[in-house]
Structures are given as structure tokens and as C-alpha cells.
Amino acid sequence: MTPNHYNFNQTTPQIEERVDALLAKMTLEEKVGQMMQIHIHEGNRAEMEERIRQGQVGSILSLYGVKDTNHAQRIAVEESRLGIPLIFGNDVIHGYRTIFPIPLAESCTWEPALLQEAARIAAEEASANGVDWNFAPMVDVCREPRWGRIAEGAGEDVYLGSVMAQARVRGFQAKGLTSGRKIAACPKHYAAYGGAEAGKDYNTVDISERTLRDLYLPPFEAAFDEGAGTTMSAFNDLNGIPSTGNAFILRQILREEWGFLGVVLSDWNAVGELVPHGFAADLKEAAKRAALAGVDMDMISDAYHAHLAELVREGAVPAPIINEAVRRILRLKIQLGLFENPYTDEALASESILKPEYRAKALEIAQKSMVLLKNEGGLLPLDEGQRIALIGPLADDHHHILGAWHRIGEDADTESVLDGMRAVFPLANVAHMEGIPLERGDAPHFREAVEAAQSADVAVLVVGEGEFMSGEAHSRAHLGLPGQQQALVEAVHATGTPVVVVLMSGRPLVIPWIAEHIPSVLQAWHGGIRAGGAVARILGGRVNPSGKLTATWPRAEGQIPIYYNHKSTGRPPTGDGTLQFDMIHLSDYMDEYISPQFPFGFGLSYTRFAYADLEVVTPTLGVDAALVVEAAITNTGERAGEEIVQLYVRDLAGEVTRPVKELKGFQKISLDPGESQTVRFEVPARELGFHGLDMSYKVEPGDFKVWVGPNAAEGLEGEFAIERG
Ligand code: NOJ
């Protein structure tokens, strides 16, 4: 079957001939020009347009509007000596104008096809609006909820992250976009940016090569295998060498081991930042180090523009390095069809956005991304006849729900939870009261909000983070509710009226009091333009929640980093910690449980699912065979529902230590009340390996455990063994 997406990580002799012909005509300055990505703003417009005219620019980022992109393109194509078209890059992270839930939320659907479709819609809108190159998907595995950028990825797991990375590449690079144009994806940030120490953005990452290869790199390799033809070198120092000057990851792994043919673009000013990193004495040395390491294009630092030609002339940077970089950039431009089709049709731009079917998909994804964390006593779904007090700073919010990377997304495109509630419940039954601001500040309506709760049958509190509290450079050390929100929740709870808490955030939060005292908690994330409708439909029972967490929720910040696939240690805890100063020498805490608040893979439904009859069909298998496991899942509740069935393994003893559990498969199934389904997993044994002592990937014969369950902390347990082949 021909894939319905493009593969830009490949080439043909015809393409290479075209590149050769172009390269032969180019001066050194024009070559270096191709290696520059610029940002145009009012302050530099005239200078940048002149640079384009002189053939000193290869790409522009974050230029919005077809008029402006076409204008710049016209200068490149019609006024520069060789007429090489520009490529326009942009950040279309969770939608262009139709804003979908943040990527972390999208991953909680565990439905790659949905992520692919959201990415395809984003590509439709973006390509009609002058974007050729999308700086997404963000594929940084992240075990750090303090890090604001956890919002942008698919959570903490390498397997899930790889599956989702591929789905998004397929969507962004879809064939048949209405504009007749193409988009190239850019998996980022290469590499291990998600490992930032202490969750501070841009921070140092110092990890073993094995962790790099086993945890952080596979989603990149998966994305390139799927046809992604570019990547972005990260800001972070990786084991003492900044990623943007790191030949080990940029040349040895990327080019030599993986055979990647695509373009490496630096992150914003990351070449220039080699100086504050203390990796280069000045901008010239930064340019040299980045070019030698394998950064093909400099995003705005001007290091290449100012120094690269001179470095070549001095012999400090060999000419073939420049030719190779330019070859990759020209190849991409040819693959994208920019030479034949440099301009975007201005008439299409506005009619290509926010189509009804896009809005419908945004609602579906929002609904499926939300995670029911608690529902004691079946308080949810609410009864339509109940009098509801809808309270909180995010209850009628039209902005924060858009999430961290909404860019040109507009508040006016959104529906708030209040809008949604008014559509689902009888108008007279929904009383709305903001209560307090999102952050610290005067709260003159605090008491009124509590009183509103007092006279209602149920209080729905919509609380959480603003969109600006996650995303780039927005790390937090305290992961509870900001401002007076916790006080409001406690005051409303004290009225005795049953409380539902709807949380909005860009990350896992630390909410031990809420988890203990509030009967029903729905995690709604920053759910995009239809988030309000999605919340209301879930609260009203029109939709049965099905999302499951893709990142562990801690009980306390002191547990971070906390993730399901940790190592055993030589002193694995036998209980859940909190021994309060008893001298038991195990790997736990004296003053906190070691278990998370909510484990990876966790999420409830309005119905219940029973797991039974685990059968390991292949109790022994060769390294070239597949592990086959079956289990029967039954809907034992009263409603139809969807369940995300997860398969985990543990390699009991290896030449290097292995995690206590590793996700190796998942399936989402839909069951009517009383219905049962036998779910069958087939996992190739080659996917059960790791990077061994010599750092090569291997599958080791030996004994394993396997679980099929509803999340990382529960499941039916079985055993199998891999035999020597
Ligand atoms: C910096 C961010 O780290 C990166 O993700 C983004 O693509 C660039 N800025 C361009 O906006």
C-alpha cells in the first residue's frame, strides 16, 4: 500500500542531480545564505529583505500571513541571483487556528489515528497559510512535571512516545493537502532536552549513554523512519557538550548510525548560546563548532551569517561540510516542490481554517483526552435536574483552555465550560460564579462563591493553571493550584455540598488534598477550542470518559522524578514507604509514600472493566519470534465504554539492570455493558531489547514477566522466556 504521507528522509538520483546543478552555480556566500534562518520584525525588515535579495537567507520562521510570506518569497525567487525559494517554518504544535488539546493531553487518548488526524488538520490549515515546515512534533520523553514543556510532548514513556511521534509525522506530512502544497515535520528537540535537571528549562542534562539510547532517542529514530526529514538541535548541554555542538549525537548517531538524510536546524539562537554555555569563546567559534558538529541551519543567531564563509576561507571549516549542509537544505526544498510552487494561494487562506469538521474533531479529541481521576460514590455523571454551582477562575475561561502553543488561536473560537454546561444542562440549573482570580490577587467574590455552592445540589469547581504556566521557560517548583484556588476548593468542600473538581493544566499537578477529599476529579488539561463542550458532555454523561495518563502524577514535589519504569535497586521497597523513621534500609521515604498519586496509564470510566484469563500463548520464544499474550476484558458496569488495555514486561535479569516494568503494547477497545473481548497482543521479541554493555542494541535470552492491565500499577501477571535463537 502506498503511504498517504510523504517521506522526506530519502532521495532519488534526479533530486541529487538537481542539487548538484544548483550547488555548482552557488558562491560560498550564497551557500552560507541557505544555512541561515531569519526572523523578520518591524525593526529589521528592510535589512532582512535586502539579505534575501542578496541570496543570504534560506528560511524564515514565524512569519504569519500569506501576503507576507508571498512577499518575501517573491524577493527570493524574482530578485535574488539564483531565485532559490525560501522555506517558511513555524510552530504548529497543537493546531494552527483550530486549536486542539495540548500534545500531552492528546497523548492521553492513546489513539494514534486521532493524533494523526489532528496533525493533518493542522497541516491543512497551516499549509494554506504559507507554512512549509512545522517545528513539530515535540518528541522529548519527559519524566519531569516541573518542566513546563512536558505540555508539548507525549509524556514519560518511550514506546508510547515513539508511536505518537510517528502518528504526528504521518499527519503533518500528509499527502493531498487542499492547498496543493506539502509540509515537512521537524521532530525536536534533539536530544534529551526533556531530561532537564530539576525541571528548569534549558538546563543541563547529564545522563548515561544507555539512558540516552534507551529512553530519549527512540522517538526520534521512529519519526525519521516514518519519513520526517528535519530535526532541531536542542538548547541543552548533554553530558558536557551542548546538543547544538555535539558531533556524537549529530554526526555519529544521526548520520552514521541512522543514515538520516534530512536537515538539522538549530533551536532559536542555540548556535549563539554556545558562548554562554562556555563551549565557545565567541560567536565565530560558536559558528565553527556548530557547523563542524553538523548543524545545517542556524536559527537566527547570525553566527553563520557573520562568520561561516570566513571560517571556510581560513580552512577552519572544510568546504565539504558546507556543501553537505546546503545539499540537505536544497533537497528539502525540491522535495517540498518549492521550486515549482513557491507561492501560496492567497484566496485559500481564510477559507481553509476552522471548518466545521475540524471543530468536530477538536471536540472528539478533547473528550477523549480528558482523564477521570476519581469518582467516588458515582457522583458523576451529574443528573440534569441537579442545581449546579459552577465556580472557579477557569469556569468561564476562553483563553487559558487554548494552551501554551496556541499562537494565532483566538479566544473567540473557544467554548468555555460555562458555554458547554448551558448547552447540556437546563439553563436555570447552572449558576456561575468566578469566585477568585487565577493567580494571587483580590478575591471580593470568594464568599459569594462559597454561598452559591451552599445553595446548590452540587458544586463544580473549574480550577488549575493558566496557559502561561506551562510551555517554554515556564517551569514551576510548586505544582499545586496557584493563588487562592486551593483555599476556595477547601471552603466549598466545607459547605457539605458534593464537589466535582475539573482541573485544567499543562502538566501533572500535585493535589494530595483534592485526591483525598473531593469525590470526583476530572483532568481536562488545556483542551483547546472545544474543551468547554467536552467537559460539559462528560459531566452530563453524554460522553463516557476514556483518557488515561501518559505521565505519572506525584503525591509531592519531593518524589520527582517519579515514573513507572524505574529500576528495582538492590533494596526494593516492600511496602509503600512512610515508615516514619523506622530503620528499615529500603529505597523509600520516611515521610511520604513511594507510590504516585495516580500512576502512568491510569484513568477511570463511568463503567467498570474486569480483567481475566491471562494466557501467555508463547511461554517460550526465540529472539526472532513474537510474544503472544491474551486476556479477556469485560465491561461489568452499566454503560458502554472504552478501555485502554496495556501490556507491560519485565526482563528479570540482564547484563545491565532493566526497569521494573516497560510498556510494550496497548489497545483501545469499546465494550457494551456485559460485553467481553479477548484482547491479543503480539510483540516482536526484537522490541524487548536494550542497549547492553557494549552499547549495542540486543535482546537477551532469559526470563521475563508480563502484565496485561488497566494501568502501570495493576494487571494480570504471567511469565515467559526468550530462548537463545
Ligand atoms: C524555541 C523553542 O524551543 C522551539 O521549540 C521552537 O520551535 C523555536 N523556539 C521556534 O519558535
For the Cβ of 216 lying below 6 angstroms from any atom of ligand 1, the answer is no
Looking at the structure, tell me whether residues 119 and 222 fall in a common domain: yes
Is 566 a member of any domain?
no
Q: What is the pLDDT at residue 724?
A: 83
Residue 171 lies in a domain: yes
When comparing pLDDT for 634 and 573, which is higher?
Answer: 634
C-beta neighbour count of 180 within 10 angstroms: 13
String of DSSP letters for 35-92: TEEE---GGGHHHHHHHHHTT--SEEES--SHHHHHHHHHIIIIISSS-PPPEEEE--
Dihedral sign computed on CA atoms, order 654, 658, 660, 663: negative
Q: What is the pLDDT of residue 636?
A: 98
- 267 Cβ closer than 6 Å to some ligand 1 atom: yes
Rounded to an integer, the average pLDDT of 248-267 is 98
Determine the distance separating the centroid of ligand 1 and the alpha carbon of 138, expressed in angstroms: 10
pLDDT at 2: 74
Residue among 60, 235, 472 whose CB has most ligand 1 atoms within 8 A, to mutate: 472
Q: What is the residue range of 425's domain?
A: 356-539
Q: How far is the CA of 268 from the centre of ligand 1 (A)?
A: 6
Distance 457 CA to ligand 1 centre (A): 46
What's the number of CA atoms in the CB half-sphere (13 Å) around residue 511? 31
What does residue 65 show for φ and ψ, rounded to 5 degrees? 100, 130
Residues 320 and 380 grouped into a single domain: no
- On whether residue 600 sits in a domain, the answer given is no
- pLDDT of amino acid 725: 66
pLDDT digits (tens, 9 = 90+) for 116-144: 999 999 999 999 999 999 999 999 999 99
Given a contact cutoff of 8 angstroms between Cβ atoms, the answer to whether 164 and 107 are in contact is yes
Count up the domains in the chain and report the number: 3
Q: Does residue 6 have its Cβ closer than 6 Å to ligand 1?
A: no
718: which 3 cell numbers? 504471567
Instruction: Give percent of the chain with pLDDT exceeding 90.
Output: 96
* Dist CA 653 CA 702 (whole Å): 7
Report whether 169 contacts 228 (CB < 8 A).
Answer: yes
User: Which atom of ligand 1 approaches the CA of 234 most closely?
Assistant: 3
* Confidence band, pLDDT 50/70/90 cuts, at residue 578: low
Residue 583 has pLDDT above 70, yes or no: no
The confidence score (pLDDT) of residue 305 equals: 98
CATH code of the domain containing 650: 2.60.40.10
Domain match, 639 and 527 both: no
The total of other beta-carbon atoms located within 10 Å of residue 3's CB is 12
Q: With beta carbons less than 8 A apart as the criterion, state whether 242 and 190 touch.
A: no
Residue with cell 512534533: 137
Classify residue 586: in a domain, yes or no. no
402 and 445 share a domain?
yes
Query: Taking 90 as the threshold, does the pLDDT of residue 444 lie above it?
Result: no
3-state secondary structure of 166: helix
Ligand 1, atom 11: nearest CA belongs to which residue?
91
CATH number of the domain encompassing residue 420: 3.40.50.1700
Q: Same structural domain for residues 522 and 633?
A: no
Q: Is pLDDT above 70 for 657?
A: yes
How many angstroms separate the alpha carbon of residue 486 from the centre of ligand 1? 33
In terms of Cα–Cα distance, which of 469, 641, 679 is closest to 547? 641
Tell me the C-alpha distance between 223 and 23, whole Å. 29
Q: How many Å apart are CA 121 and CA 99, to the nearest integer?
A: 10
The pLDDT value recorded for residue 409 is: 97
Specify the length of the chain in residues: 725
The answer on pLDDT for 443 being more than 90 is no
- Check residue 581 and give its pLDDT: 58
- 351: Cβ–Cβ under 8 A, 6 or more apart, which residues? none
Looking at 515, 539, 563, the residue that finishes a domain is 539
Pocket lining: 273 vs ligand 1, CB cutoff 6 Å: no
* Tens-place pLDDT, residues 588-604: 888 999 999 999 999 99
Residue 564 lies in a domain: no
Would you state the pLDDT for residue 47? 98
Q: How far, in Å, CA of 366 to CA of 695, rounded?
A: 41
152 lines ligand 1 (CB under 6 A): no
Cα separation, 508 vs 521, in Å, equals: 13
Number of H helices, E strands in the chain: 19, 26
Q: Which of 513, 539, 565 is the last residue of a domain?
A: 539
CA distance 525 to 464: 9
Q: Which of 522, 582, 577, 525 is nearest to 555 (CA)?
A: 577
Q: Cα separations (Å) of 210 from 19, 85, 190, 573?
A: 37, 41, 16, 25
Asked if 555 contacts 591 with a C-beta cutoff of 8 angstroms, the reply is no
Q: What is the pLDDT of residue 584?
A: 76
Give the SS3 label for residue 402: helix
Query: And the C-alpha cell for 420?
Result: 458547554
Choose the final residue of a domain: 502, 521, 539: 539
- Do 233 and 360 fall into the same domain? no
Question: For residues 399 and 403, what is the distance between their CA atoms, to the nearest angstrom?
Answer: 8
Among residues 352, 344, 404, 405, the alpha carbon closest in space to that of 131 is found at: 344
Are 366 and 328 in the same domain? no
90 CA to middle of ligand 1, Å? 9
Cell of 324: 553537505
| 423 residue type, one letter | A
| Same-domain status, 197 and 147 | yes
415 lines ligand 1 (CB under 6 A): no
- At 638 the pLDDT is 97
* Rounded distance between C-alpha atoms, residue 407 and residue 683, angstroms: 40
| pLDDT tens-digit series, residues 44-59 | 999 999 999 999 999 9
- Tell me how far the alpha carbon of residue 310 lies from the centroid of ligand 1, in angstroms: 28
The Cα-based distances of 351 to 23, 73, 92, 100, 176 in angstroms read: 39, 22, 18, 19, 17
- Calculate the CA 710 to chain-centre distance: 22
What is the best residue among 133, 135, 201 to mutate for testing ligand 1's pocket, by most ligand atoms within 8 Å of CB? 135
Using CA atoms, how far residue 648 sits from 157, 213, 564, 722, in Å, is 12, 20, 11, 15
- Interval between CA 251 and ligand 1 midpoint (Å): 22
Q: Using DSSP bridges, classify how beta strands 620-622 and 609-616 pair: parallel, antiparallel or unpaired.
A: unpaired
Give the model's confidence band at 719: pLDDT under 50 very low, under 70 low, under 90 confident, else very high.
very high
Return the residue whose CA atom lies nearest to atom 3 of ligand 1: 267
Extract the C-alpha cell encoding 637. 458496569
Residue 576 has pLDDT above 90, yes or no: no
Q: Which pLDDT band, with edges at 50, 70 and 90, does 575 fall under?
A: confident
CA distance 359 to 364: 9
Ligand 1, pocket-test mutation among 193, 232, 243, most atoms within 8 A of CB: 232
User: ∠ CA(26), CA(32), CA(38), 5° rounding?
Assistant: 125
642 lines ligand 1 (CB under 6 A): no
562 CA to middle of ligand 1, Å?
27
**What CATH number does residue 263 fall under?**
3.20.20.300
Q: How confident is the model at residue 250 (pLDDT cuts 50, 70, 90)?
A: very high
C-beta of residue 623 within 8 angstroms of C-beta of residue 687:
no
SS3 assignment, position 719: strand
**Does 188 contact ligand 1 (Cβ within 6 A)?**
yes
Angstrom distance (rounded) from CA 320 to CA 339: 24
Taking the C-alpha atoms of residue 518 and residue 522, their distance in angstroms, rounded to an integer, is: 11
| Cell numbers for 113 | 489515528
Treating both helix axes as pointing N-terminal to C-terminal, what angle do 531-539 and 356-369 enclose, rounded to 10 degrees? 50
Q: Which of these, 205, 206, 208, 170, lies nearest to 187 by C-alpha position?
A: 170
Q: Would residue 513 count as lying in a domain?
A: yes
Q: Which of 267, 296, 298, 413 is catalytic?
A: 267
Asked whether residue 416 falls in the same domain as residue 507, the answer is yes
Q: Tell me which residue has its CA closest to atom 10 in ligand 1.
A: 268
Q: Is residue 474 lining ligand 1, measured as CB closer than 6 Å? A: no
Cα dihedral sign for 538, 542, 544, 546? negative
Contact (CB, 8 A) for 384 and 369: no
Distance CA 267, CA 232 (A): 6
* Residue 186 Cα: closest atom of ligand 1: 7
Quote the CA–CA distance of 471 and 168 in Å, as a whole number.
19
Cα of 61 from ligand 1 centre, angstroms: 10
CA 209/CA 615 separation, integer angstroms: 36
- How many angstroms is it from 267 CA to the middle of ligand 1? 6
Q: Determine which residue's CA is closest to atom 4 belonging to ligand 1.
A: 267
Give yes or no: residues 372 and 325 share one domain: no
- Tens digits of residue pLDDT in 602-621: 999 999 999 999 999 999 99
Decide if pLDDT at 580 tops 70: no
For residue range 531-570, what is the model confidence (pLDDT) as tens digits? 999 999 999 999 999 999 999 999 999 999 999 999 999 9
d(CA 84, CA 437): 52
Cis peptide before 381 (omega within 30 of 0): yes
Question: What ligand 1 atom has the least distance to the C-alpha of 138?
Answer: 5
149 CA distance to ligand 1 centroid (A)? 11
Q: How far apart, in whole angstroms, are the C-alpha atoms of residue 326 and residue 425?
A: 59
Q: Is 396 a catalytic residue?
A: no
Whole-model pTM: value is: 0.98
140-175, pLDDT tens digit by residue? Answer: 999 999 999 999 999 999 999 999 999 999 999 999
Give pLDDT, residue 577. Answer: 72
Q: Does 168 sit in the ligand 1 pocket, CB within 6 Å?
A: no
Same domain, residue pair 661 and 627: yes
Atom of ligand 1 nearest to the CA of 189: 5
Say which amino acid occupies 507. R
**Which residues in 379-509 belong to E strands, given as ranges?**
388-391, 430-433, 458-464, 499-504
Query: In the prediction, which pLDDT does 387 show?
Result: 97
Instruction: Kindly state the average pLDDT of the residues 496-525.
Output: 98
Cβ atoms 348, 499 nearer than 8 A: no
Our answer on whether the CB atom of 135 is closer than 6 Å to any ligand 1 atom is yes
Using alpha carbons, list the distances in angstroms from residue 482 to 77, 180, 598: 51, 46, 20
Contact predicate 671/678, CB 8 Å: no
Distance 235 CA to ligand 1 centre (A): 10
Among 95, 88, 89, smallest CA distance to 74 is for 88
Q: How far is the CA of 2 from the centre of ligand 1 (A)?
A: 33
Nearest ligand 1 atom, CA 188: 5
Q: Which residue has the cell 496557559?
A: 467
Which residue's alpha carbon is at the smallest distance from atom 7 of ligand 1? Answer: 135
| Residue 304 β-bridge partners | none
* Mean pLDDT computed over 239-243: 98
- Does residue 472 line the site of ligand 1, with CB under 6 A? yes
Residues 324 and 444 in one domain: no
Instruction: Show the cell assigned to 21.
Output: 546543478
d(CA 553, CA 145): 8
Q: Indicate the top mutation candidate among 92, 267, 269, 408 to test ligand 1's pocket, ranked by most ligand atoms within 8 A of CB.
A: 267
In a domain, 526, yes or no: yes
Confidence class for position 441, pLDDT limits 50, 70, 90: confident
Residue 677 within a domain = yes
Distances (CA, A) of 559 to 199, 571, 586, 676: 13, 17, 15, 38
Nearest one of 157, 119, 160, 165 to 141, comparing CA atoms: 157
